[in-house]
Structures are given as structure tokens and as C-alpha cells.
Chains A and B, each alone.
Chain A
């Protein structure tokens, strides 16, 4: 995964609340065995409108997306994060996210920034004309107009994003603890082993 620290550029002022992952990437784009090329299907229903923001000269390839409450709700499809990444989006800024989406985003080097609606409203305004600057290290979003919004992020997620870390390798360091847990369960709760069925 590509590390992320500072992102500066235009921010797509989408602003909608409850943007579900079916809207981010419709199901028919999920019929693939690869993670690549999903940007083509990203926001398909919105981009059917020739005047959509995503394909406008101004916002095409913009690295930041601004949205409303509950971004990424619905389906767990990680394809939504892959599609955003393939569109070139590295940061989403919204008041809240679905739990599954924010996890998927982080695992794909996309930073989900949480800011209150008042900050979102201001950034939506700035984004119409000017770039937005996001700094993960200092946990701030700034604008050319001296706006400065601080955001919170889970320290583990921050570390993974800054270092571009692969979580599986980190967990493999706990191999002995996992083995000990399995041994304890096998001894004390044997019913947890699925019964064998005759085939």
C-alpha cells in the first residue's frame, strides 16, 4: 500500500449524505477477480450526467473528496475503496463514515478524515475555487484562506497509513499468541470445532 502523509489539491465538493457503496461502485463492476481498473465504474449513476463533478475539467483527477454524513454505508465491498483509489482519490472528508468503509479505505491507503458539518460546509465553499491541504502527520486540514481544521484518527490507522504497512505481516508477529488461544479453546471448548459430517 502507498504511504500517505500530505495531500494537496482540488477537493470534489460532492456533499451528499448517505453515499452508499452501491453508488460508489455498482454491483455489475464487482464481477472481476482483480483490484484494478475500477475507477471506470466509480459513481456511475452520478457520472451519467454529462455535467457531473467527477469528469469536469476542474475536478478530474482531484485527490480529495468531500461528502456528507454516513459516507460508504451499505455493502462491505472493498471495491468501493479500490474504485476511489483508481479515480485518484487519496482523502475523503466527511462528518461520518460507515465502519466497514473506513476500515477498507485505510487498508488501501485512503485517509478518511472526520470533521464536523460546520467544517465540511466551509470546505465545500473553498473547494469551489481553491485547493485544500491535508496533513496526516499534524492531523490538520488547511486552506489558502487560513482555515485550519484539526481531526482525530486512531493511532494504529495513522501508523499504517504513514508507513504504508501491511497489517497481515504485523499480525503474524502474534503467531504464538494465536496458537496459544487455539490450544486453550481446543481444550476447554471443544464444541467450537465444527462437527464432522459424513459425505
Chain B
């Protein structure tokens, strides 16, 4: 009888090309996703060393970070130019590099274009049991379908392009088990915010986190992608959720997913990779789903999480002196006073989008709250950015776009947008944003911008009231 293994260990073992005596292993990479920001220097490196892409067939490129989310074509259907010359140059580099190196490329005008982490699962390019990398830390997202997926730097992008492998040290394993049922108004985003607040921003460093338990099993694939997406915010390079019937139903029939006999073989394999009974993790954290409230961040680290019913914490309340100092800095940056109820914090900007929360289920959740209501007068800027052209089309078919625009929100084209403000979508200095993205870092949404991370339903509630709001108060 073999030693019981975790999901992570099974995927790792299946991808070892060469085991090295020092404990590292050369690991085969099944899927490589490429976007315009972290790839130009890698392609330049290949070119200057006379190297080619070893497996262009396992590589998929799509632009997302720099693209403006305003209309990409004029009324007559002509393509509009990108006015920011640096963004334009980076986008042009990918458009040139992809065909030159024989890589499949989804261009900015294709209906399939979108955020790389939305596109991968949506196209069936990302599959359970595979290794997936991308020059982007939110590659952790694809762990939601049971892939070992993690972000890499540009040197590693070049390494994967050239060799289809990475030399890696095995990670430690961590289980985060969420048992029970979440209450009304509590979404996948609240689960992962609560987890991040519990384990801390470095809680998963050196580990791969497997999310288990009945509250995780009950999530849709969209919700699982949201949870795994933010594994990196807890310091883990990758998250994992065991693939099951929900995953298979989501993937079946997607363009790059296996077909016919290959599909059957794949499903049989995927069923075999779940963590064995008796397998152990290096660390386990158990969370009661009933303890999770609609959540919101107050500071500038994603671990700075409180329930919406809570108050801005007093820095003196933290035991760790370095956390006290960090909290003081955060509160000064955020312009918040200890003791203020979170539900009294006004917001001027709303961002619904990002690889964390821009899928159809996210837009439905936001629309359900917004429907029949209007954004508050103090909300100056409120945008909804679907994760892909296909999500956008689906939302429009369901009439969600009209619900948002009737409420005074803007309906945009797909991309990363105000999550990291590389494109023109920025939050002005000193203003607050209720944002469905993943990072509340200093300057993340624009220099001086103050970010409060929330779920799509909570962002919609904030849009309606003009302040951070417990969405449960708006639910019928």
C-alpha cells in the first residue's frame, strides 16, 4: 500500500521530470499563460540567446493589464488606438512576440479576450491536475479547479518558454478547512477575506494551501476560483480545491477541454487525485463557516480584515509591536480613526471587477443588490468591468448591463482595470474605493488611493448607500 498523499503531492509527483539530490526537482509545466506586462523582457531574452519556445502548443497569450476598458472600436467599427504610448508599446510587443514564437494569441478585439485568469478556465485551457504558471501572482486562481497553479517572475517566464519546466523546491502543505454553511449575504469573497484575516498575510508562506470542508465543496467553480485566487494574499504561492462533479460539469465542452475518449480518461484521472484518507498536512486551520460575516478591509494589507459589523481597530490592540506600527501607518494612509464603525465609512468610488470577482456569478450577485436602486450621490465613479468578452456577452444576454447602467454605474470592456491601475482606470488620491479586487496595498489603485476590499454584493451595497454597508440590510 502506498503512503497516503495529498492532492498537492499527487500533482507534484506526476510532474517530476528529474529529481535532484538537493531536494529540488525539475517540474514539467502543462500550461503557460502569458500577458503583456511580464513577458516582453522574457521574449527579448529568448531572442538575444537564439532560443525558441519549446511548447508553443501549451502556451496561450492574451492582453489584459494595460487595455483601457472604454470602447475599443468606434461606432463605425474601426479599432481605436491606445492613447498611452507606453501601454501601446507593451501591447504591441505581445502582439508581435506571440506569432513570432508560434504562440496562440487572443487579441484585444476577440470575443474571448479577458483577464488571463478568467480566460484560462473559461476556455478549458486550465484543467484539474495540471501545472499552470503565468507571470502574475494571481495564477493561484486556477487552483479553484484543482490545478497546481502559481505566479512566476519574468526570468521564470523565459525559463518556461525555453524549457517547459521549472526547477522547484517542494512546498509544505497547509489545509484550510471551512466547515458548515455560510449565512445569507456571505460569499466566496467573504470566506477568503476571513481566511486571510485569520492566517495573516504571511500565514501560508512556503506552503500550498488546500481548501477543504463542506463550505468549500458547496461553492460553484466561480466561487472556488475567487477563494484560490487570493491564496497569494495569505502568502501561499498556490491554492488548491479538489476537482469534483461541479468542476467536471463546468469544464465539459469548453473549447480546449478534452473531448470524447480523452474526456473520459481525464475525468477518471481527476477523480484519482483527491487527497487520500489518512494523508497529513504540515499545518491545518479549521474555520467555522457560521463565524464568517460579510467582510471588509480597513488597512493596507489584505490581512487587515473585519466583519462589516465591526469597527476600525485600535493599533494598540495588536500584540505584535511591528503590527502596531504597521497599523498606525495604515490608518494614517487610510484616513481612518480607531473605533469608527466600518458601516459609517463613506466611499466615493466603486470597482466591480478583477480576476478575483468578475465572473458571471459575481456580476449576478452585484446586480441582484443594485436592481431597482440607484447609486448614491456621493459616489462619483462606479465601474463594472466584466472578466472577459464572454462574461460580458452573457451578462448582456441576462440584462445585467442595463441593471447597472440604470443605477448609474458604468458598464465597461474586459480587463484588469482598477485592480492595479495600469490602464487609465484609477482611484483619485485620498478617495476611497469599495473594490472587489484582491489588494489594498498603498497606491495599488492609484497613488494615494484608499482601497476597501469587499465582495461584489457588498460593493453594490456601498454603491447604493455611498458608504460601506452590510449587504444583509438591503436583502429582501
Query: Hey, which bits of chain A sit against chain B, CB under 8 A?
Result: 16-18, 20, 22-23, 26-28, 30-35, 44-45, 68-70, 73-79, 81, 96-100, 103-104, 107-108, 154-156, 167-168, 170-172, 174, 177-178, 181-182, 185, 189-195, 197
What is the chain A residue whose CB lies nearest that of B421?
A27
Nearest CB of chain B from residue A192's CB, rounded to whole Å: 6
A125 to B26, CA, bound (A): 41
* Known interface pairs A33-B44, A74-B441; A100-B237 also in contact (CB < 8 Å): yes
What is the chain A residue whose CB lies nearest that of B24?
A156
A70 to B301, CA, bound (A): 11
A112 to B90, CA, bound (A): 30
A92 to B189, CA, bound (A): 34
Nearest CB of chain B from residue A156's CB, rounded to whole Å: 6
A156 to B25, CA, bound (A): 11
Nearest CB of chain B from residue A47's CB, rounded to whole Å: 12
Q: Is the CB of A68 within 8 A of B235?
A: no
Please give, as numbers and ranges, the residues of chain A lying within 8 Å of B245 by CB-CB distance: none
Q: Which of B54, B136, B167, B235 contacts A156 (CB 8 A)?
A: B167
Q: Which of A98, A190, A195 contacts B256 (CB 8 A)?
A: A195
Please give, as numbers and ranges, the residues of chain B lying within 8 Å of A81 by CB-CB distance: 153
A197 to B150, CA, bound (A): 26
Q: Is the CB of A193 within 8 A of B93?
A: no
B: contact size bracket: 35 or more
A78 to B137, CA, bound (A): 11
Q: Which of B157-165, B284-292, B459-467 contacts A (4 or more CB under 8 A)?
A: B157-165
Q: Which of B125, B165, B232 contacts A194 (CB 8 A)?
A: B125
Q: Is the CB of B84 within 8 A of A195?
A: no
Q: Which of B44, B57, B162, B205 contacts A168 (CB 8 A)?
A: B162
* Known interface pairs A168-B159, A195-B256, A195-B258; A31-B422 also in contact (CB < 8 Å): yes
Please give, as numbers and ranges, the residues of chain B lying within 8 Å of A99 by CB-CB distance: 171, 205-206, 235, 237
- Majority secondary structure, B binding face: loop
Q: Is the CB of A177 within 8 A of B439?
A: no
Nearest CB of chain A from residue B208's CB, rounded to whole Å: 10
Please give, as numbers and ranges, the residues of chain B lying within 8 Å of A79 by CB-CB distance: 154
Please give, as numbers and ranges, the residues of chain A lying within 8 Å of B169 by CB-CB distance: 154
Please give, as numbers and ranges, the residues of chain A lying within 8 Å of B171 by CB-CB distance: 99
Please give, as numbers and ranges, the residues of chain A lying within 8 Å of B269 by CB-CB distance: 189, 191
Q: Is the CB of B137 within 8 A of A76?
A: yes
A37 to B201, CA, bound (A): 30
Q: Is the CB of B442 within 8 A of A172?
A: no
Q: Is the CB of B41 within 8 A of A33?
A: yes
What is the chain A residue whose CB lies nearest that of B299?
A18
Q: Is the CB of B202 within 8 A of A69?
A: yes
A77 to B431, CA, bound (A): 26
Please give, as numbers and ranges, the residues of chain A lying within 8 Å of B137 by CB-CB distance: 74-76, 100
A27 to B130, CA, bound (A): 30
Q: Is the CB of A194 within 8 A of B256?
A: yes
Nearest CB of chain A from residue B321's CB, rounded to whole Å: 10
* Residues 183 to 207 of chain B near chain A (Cβ within 8 Å): 201-202, 205-206
Q: Which of B260-268, B358-366, B399-407 contacts A (4 or more CB under 8 A)?
A: B260-268
* Known interface pairs A156-B167, A195-B257; A177-B17 also in contact (CB < 8 Å): yes
Q: Which of A97, A104, A178 contacts B164 (CB 8 A)?
A: A178
Q: Is the CB of A78 within 8 A of B162?
A: no
User: Which 10 residue pairs across A and B have the least CB separation, nearest first?
Assistant: A78-B153, A76-B151, A33-B40, A31-B86, A104-B153, A70-B202, A191-B262, A191-B258, A191-B266, A107-B155
Interface centre among B18, B58, B124, B130 (most CB of A within 10 A): B18
Nearest CB of chain A from residue B59's CB, rounded to whole Å: 10
What is the chain B residue whose CB lies nearest that of A199?
B104
Q: Is B156 an interface residue (CB 8 A)?
A: yes
Q: Is B37 an interface residue (CB 8 A)?
A: yes
Q: Which of A97, A167, A185, A189 contacts B155 (CB 8 A)?
A: A167
A177 to B18, CA, bound (A): 7
A108 to B84, CA, bound (A): 29
Please give, as numbers and ranges, the residues of chain B lying within 8 Å of A100 by CB-CB distance: 137, 150-153, 237
A17 to B201, CA, bound (A): 10
Nearest CB of chain B from residue A165's CB, rounded to whole Å: 12
Nearest CB of chain A from residue B150's CB, rounded to whole Å: 8
Please give, as numbers and ranges, the residues of chain B lying within 8 Å of A104 by CB-CB distance: 153-156
A77 to B30, CA, bound (A): 22
Q: Which of B44, B136, B329, B443 contacts A26 (CB 8 A)?
A: B443
The 0/1 profile, CB within 8 Å of A marked 1, for residues 34-78 of chain B is: 000110110010000101001101100000011000000000000
Q: Can you offer 8 A-B residue contacts whose CB atoms are under 8 A?
A: A31-B66, A75-B420, A78-B41, A98-B235, A99-B235, A99-B237, A100-B153, A167-B159
Q: Is the CB of B206 within 8 A of A18?
A: no
Please give, as numbers and ranges, the residues of chain B lying within 8 Å of A107 by CB-CB distance: 153, 155-156
Q: Is B146 an interface residue (CB 8 A)?
A: no
Q: Which of A16, A22, A172, A190 contacts B444 (CB 8 A)?
A: A22
Nearest CB of chain A from residue B85's CB, rounded to whole Å: 9
What is the chain A residue whose CB lies nearest that of B45?
A168
